[in-house]
Amino acid sequence: MAEAAVSFKNITKTFGEVVANRDVTFDVKKGEILALLGENGSGKTTLMNMLSGIYYPDHGSIEVNGEEVTIRSPKDAFALGIGMVHQHFKLVDVFTAVENTVLGLTRKQEKYSLKAAARRMKDICDKYGFEIEPKKKIYNMSVSEKQTLEIVKVLYRGAEILVLDEPTAVLTPQETEKLFNVMRNMREDGKSIIIITHKLNEVMEISDRVAVLRKGEYIGTVNTADTDEHELTDMMVGRKTDLNIRRTEPTGEKPLLEIRDLVVKNDEGAVAIDGMSFYIRGGEILGVAGISGCGQKELCEAIAGLRKVYKGEINHMGDSIIGLSPKAIIEKGIAMSFIPEDRLGMGLAPSLSVTDNMMLKDYKNATLTFKEGDAEHKAKKLPAFLWPFVDRNRARKKAEEIIEELDIVTPSTETPVRRLSGGNVQKVLVGREMQAGPNVIITAYPVRGLDINSSYTIYDILNAEKEKGTGIMYVGEDLDVLLALCDKIMVICHGKLMGVVHADKTTKEEIGLMMTGALDLGAVKTEKHFGIASDTNIDEEDLAAMRQRDAQTEEEEGE
Amino acid sequence: MTSFVAWFTSSIVYGTVIMYGALGETLTQKSGQLNLGVPGMVYLGAFAGFAGGFMYEKTAASTNEFLLVLIPLLCGFGGGALGGLLYSLMTVVLKANQNVTGLALTFLGVGIGTFGGIYVLADAGFLSFATARETAALFNMNINAYIEAGVFGEMFLSYGFMVYAAIILAIVMFIIMRRTRVGLNLRAVGESPATADAAGINVNRYKIVASTIGGGICGLGGMVYVIMYGHGGWTTTNSIEALGWLAVALVIFSTWKPLNAIWGSYLFAFLFWFSNYFPTVTGIVLPTYAPYLLQMLPYAVTTIMIVLFNFRKKKENQPPAALGLSYFREER
């Protein structure tokens, strides 16, 4: 039993200057379920990708069944009996379950026969308690079925070591229970399972041991039976570090943006934001903490008008903005900047110059300018249909201002944005959003991938905006930054609001517990109206309109 | 009646050319490659097939019947395949934009064919018309000439072997795509290259091989046009290009299914000849502008089909999901 199925020995992996894993050493035993726990960016997925052949470690070695192995491709991993189920399913939509299962197998491995393959799939399903129809097409499958198929696919290829990357993130509690039963059956059968997860209750329920990573480093492994959620949270988030970010006192103005009972669905049609209520006051920064993929993106998109609001109300200074176009929402003064993982994905056109990108959000203000004397430019506004040209000079001036102000390193204002380094690209994006003079700023991961100095520049800009009375929602990853920068921190877990806490009165542990769903302030303090401002702008009329809309949505759903 | 039979037989021969083009392009598109160079590849195949047959007839002391058939076949296939190979190298290896590369290939193919044609014709003593007579005779050899089975024979048995070969090719392609591992892998590459890659399938190899063979099949269509329909006579002509575009439309019309391409190609050719034969068959005189409008019919039908399929939203009738997209393996 004590024999190791997989041993990681001093694994180090860097991407450029970013260290994803540093000197990670631990074992996975045969016939055990090991939970791999860690915050975002702690290097869990990177480590597992090295096991499944997607990345190759810079230093260190991997041993499988006591022998040192070289895994250079997913094929090598398969040959060693290692199978990984990724968060993003790798399935062909128009194929049936069985077609997907045999995809990529070679003649050497087995004869091509979908009938025989379907029979073998049935055997696997019966053995471990899966339910799957081999002839069903993927596009007719639920998320849970797709995941089941991914696991069957891996088992079909004879995997003895399974890696499941956040398998429960997309499942309902009932489906999760089913999955856990299957996992226990697989353990009985002697297979080793590594499960990556953030949810502490699930770690406690399913795992035999827990290995914890923090910021790329291995913290330790504990027996699940000997530990509790508090200890694990401590290991996961670590001690608080002081960052010395300047925080000004909030001015405490009236709520600018109020969200009430908001329900938003994700691309797959599952509920991403589940009945959230909160508000942002002028002159304060509301931090949003949560494991990545817990609805942050959907929330930002819903506020910016990019995603349909399923139910509930979004109210800006007394007016509902539900159903408004993104352009109308921008005109109301709500700026949104979302920095996705690839950093270029949203908000900027990579091939256009800095100047052009400035104009993207400001095209409607085309004016005809007359020069009066040498000094002053006097703008005379003509309607757009009379004067259809954009004002490049003004945009270039703006670009120059932002470059100066934010210390952006670029050869000129006419350089395509994609040629700038990641940090500078982000500054362009954030700078443009500030330039428009918004009254509400929704910003998600604005310092993602930035170096310390650039990060502090961004914090300073946000603080300056806050002093101007702007309401800011800051979706962040680093808890230390959230604690230092924000006035209040709202914690979400799988689309549900876990609570809003004052940054100077809370602890990292408390937030950590809320992030993982172990602590729900909403459930504790039921007497107080959760997430509703005492001086709310939403009146009975708005609420009536909201209820009517929701009823209508439900009716349509029923049809 | 005779003119209806003529309409019918012209449609079959003409349709065969379109069918080869469509089958080649279907194979290409199933791998996710949107090659709009079909007219170019058809033209290359037409020229190479003709030139092969013509030069062999001209240079050989005594011709061998087997070679008379084999050389145009290989040349026609090779000409188109070269176009397909060039296209796939540009798009797969150099990651060039598929639409632009395909269109460029159309111009290139037509250009090379026309240019090369001048030399072949010059060699023939600057006759405005050079003919590969013996080759054409062999390709047009048919059963009906021997058994004389009346109208039935004329309608169904009076064609050279390439007409029947096209139908067999369509059926073979259907079987490969539906029933074999290669077909499964090919479709996976066109639907979701990332999935195929993760499953250990060599995505680039599948794309290149499919585009090249697909180009070769398109080339056969051009060869059939010159040798069979044109009875071995080379004139640089625009109608080859028009047939290439009809083949592209047919791929969409057939919803990427080879079996649909069989009847679809005959229908397209039938509609294409509508303005020629309709007046003589029915006795209805059409206004002079009508032929120009009526030649649009295949495209109009395709457009209507696209709209209908989009309404029905059946997943099986949609193009390969990754069609026209270059595949980059994700890297951090």
Q: What is the DSSP letter of B271?
A: H
Domain range annotation of chain B:
2-331
Q: Specify the number of domains making up chain A.
A: 2
Quick one: A45 and A29 in the same domain? yes
Quick one: A128 and A230 in the same domain? yes
Q: Is the dihedral of CA A72, A75, A80, A85 positive or negative?
A: positive
In angstroms, the CA B61 to CA B124 distance is: 16
pLDDT for the residue numbered B331: 44
In angstroms, the CA A214 to CA A220 distance is: 10
- CB-CB neighbors (< 8 A) of B191 in chain A: 92-95
Alpha helix locations (H) across A189-295? Answer: 200-206, 229-237
Report the C-alpha dihedral over residues A31, A37, A41, A46, rounded to 10 degrees.
Answer: -10
Nearest chain A alpha carbon to B318: A94
Structural domain ending residue among the three candidates A237, A253, A277? A237
CB neighbourhood size of A536 (10 A): 17
Query: Domain spanning B2-331 has what CATH number?
Result: 1.10.3470
Quick one: A214 and A167 in the same domain? yes
CB neighbourhood size of A137 (10 A): 17
Quick one: A229 and A257 in the same domain? no
A-interface mutation test, from B185, B186, B195, most A Cβ less than 10 A away: B195
Residue A550: half-sphere exposure toward Cβ, Cα within 13 Å: 16
CATH number of the domain where residue A139 is located: 3.40.50.300
Q: Which residues of B touch A (CB under 8 A)?
A: 180-181, 184-185, 187-188, 191-192, 194-196, 198-201, 315-316, 318, 321, 332
Nearest chain B alpha carbon to A342: B332
Quick one: A456 and A521 in the same domain? yes
**A361 domain-assigned:** no
CB neighbourhood size of A419 (10 A): 13
Quick one: A264 and A214 in the same domain? no
pLDDT for the residue numbered A480: 81
Strand pairing class (A309-316; A284-289):
unpaired
CB neighbourhood size of B289 (10 A): 8
Segments forming the whole domain that contains residue A101: 4-237
Quick one: A67 and A166 in the same domain? yes
pLDDT for the residue numbered A395: 81
Does any CB of chain B come closer than 8 Å to the CB of residue A72?
no
Quick one: A118 and A229 in the same domain? yes
Residue A213 pairs with which residues in a beta bridge? A218
**What is the average pLDDT value for chain A, to the nearest integer?**
82
Quick one: A263 and A213 in the same domain? no
In angstroms, the CA A11 to CA A25 distance is: 7
Structural domain ending residue among the three candidates A237, A258, A280? A237
Whether the per-residue pLDDT at A1 is higher than 50: the answer is: no
Closest by Cα among B187, B215, B156 to B320: B187
- How does DSSP assign B97-143, residue by residue? -HHHHHHHHHHHHHHHHHHHHHHHHHHTTS-S-EE-HHHHHHHT--T
Q: Which residue has the tokens 């003593």?
A: B125
pLDDT for the residue numbered B198: 83
Whether the per-residue pLDDT at A61 is higher than 80: the answer is: yes
Task: Give the H or E element holding residue B28.
Answer: helix B2-30
In angstroms, the CA B7 to CA B233 distance is: 22
Q: Do A93 and B201 touch (CB under 8 A)?
A: no
Q: Do B192 and A112 touch (CB under 8 A)?
A: no
Q: How many CB pairs under 8 A join A and B?
A: 59
Residue B91: half-sphere exposure toward Cβ, Cα within 13 Å: 38
Residues of chain B with pLDDT under 50: 331-332
Rounded mean pLDDT, A72-98 = 88
The answer for A 241-260 residues in CB contact with B (under 8 A) is: none
Whether the per-residue pLDDT at A105 is higher than 60: the answer is: yes
Closest by Cα among A394, A318, A332 to A363: A394
The token pair at A247 is 């925080």
- CB-CB neighbors (< 8 A) of B196 in chain A: 92, 103-104
Structural domain ending residue among the three candidates A216, A237, A258? A237
Does any CB of chain B come closer than 8 Å to the CB of residue A78?
yes
Q: Do A92 and B188 touch (CB under 8 A)?
A: yes
Q: Do B195 and A90 touch (CB under 8 A)?
A: yes
**How does pLDDT run across A435-475, given as a tens digit for each residue?**
777 888 888 888 776 666 777 888 888 888 888 888 899 98
Strand pairing class (A192-197; A161-165):
parallel
Quick one: A266 and A133 in the same domain? no
B-interface mutation test, from A92, A102, A149, most B Cβ less than 10 A away: A92
The complex's ipTM? 0.85
A375 pLDDT tier (thresholds 50, 70, 90): very low
Does any CB of chain B come closer than 8 Å to the CB of residue A110?
no
Q: What is the largest CA-CA distance in chain B?
A: 70
pLDDT for the residue numbered A305: 86
Task: Give the H or E element holding residue A164.
Answer: strand A161-165
- How does DSSP assign A114-161, residue by residue? HHHHHHHHHHHHHHHT----TT-BGGGS-HHHHHHHHHHHHHHTT-SE
Quick one: A181 and A317 in the same domain? no
pLDDT for the residue numbered A495: 85
CA of residue B190 relative to chain centroid, distance? 20
Q: Do A75 and B200 touch (CB under 8 A)?
A: yes
Q: Do B195 and A91 touch (CB under 8 A)?
A: yes
A-interface mutation test, from B180, B203, B205, B315, most A Cβ less than 10 A away: B315
In angstroms, the CA B123 to CA B112 distance is: 17
Quick one: A226 and A85 in the same domain? yes
How far does B332 lie from chain A, in Å, by closest CA? 8
- CB-CB neighbors (< 8 A) of A139 in chain B: 315
Nearest chain A alpha carbon to B202: A104
**A346 domain-assigned:** no
Q: Which residue has the tokens 């949107």?
A: B34
- CB-CB neighbors (< 8 A) of B315 in chain A: 93-94, 137, 139
Does any CB of chain B come closer than 8 Å to the CB of residue A56?
no
B-interface mutation test, from A103, A107, A157, A344, most B Cβ less than 10 A away: A103
**A377 domain-assigned:** no
Provide the strand spans (E) within B170-327.
Answer: 233-234
Closest by Cα among A23, A30, A21 to A50: A21
Task: Give the H or E element holding residue B264.
Answer: helix B258-272
How far does A504 lie from chain B, in Å, by closest CA? 37
Residue A69 pairs with which residues in a beta bridge? A62
A374 pLDDT tier (thresholds 50, 70, 90): very low
Lowest mean pLDDT among A46-50, A399-403, A449-453, A488-492: A449-453
Does any CB of chain B come closer than 8 Å to the CB of residue A104?
yes
Contact A28, A6 (CB under 8 A): yes
B-interface mutation test, from A88, A94, A105, A344, most B Cβ less than 10 A away: A94
In angstroms, the CA A116 to CA A509 distance is: 53
Contact A292, A516 (CB under 8 A): no
pLDDT for the residue numbered A330: 83
In angstroms, the CA B157 to CA A526 distance is: 86
Contact B166, B152 (CB under 8 A): no
In angstroms, the CA A200 to CA A519 distance is: 10
Q: How big is the CA angle at A513 (ends A508 and A519), to the nearest 5 degrees? A: 130
How far does B22 lie from chain A, in Å, by closest CA? 22
**How does pLDDT run across A171-208, given as a tens digit for each residue?**
777 788 889 999 999 999 999 999 998 778 888 889 99
Does any CB of chain B come closer than 8 Å to the CB of residue A308?
no
- How does DSSP assign B139-199, residue by residue? HT--THHHH--HHHHHHHT-S-HHHHHHHHHHHHHHHHHHHSHHHHHHHHHHH-HHHHHHT
How far does B170 lie from chain A, in Å, by closest CA? 21
Rounded mean pLDDT, A374-399 = 65
Q: Which residues contact B234 (CB under 8 A, 6 or more apart)?
A: B47, B50, B54, B117, B120, B121, B129, B130, B131, B132, B226
Does any CB of chain B come closer than 8 Å to the CB of residue A94?
yes
**How does pLDDT run across A320-372, given as a tens digit for each residue?**
888 888 888 888 888 877 766 555 556 778 788 888 888 877 655 555 444 44
Lowest mean pLDDT among A151-155, A299-303, A416-420, B82-86: A416-420
CA of residue A204 relative to chain centroid, distance? 24
Amino acid (one-letter) located at A246: R
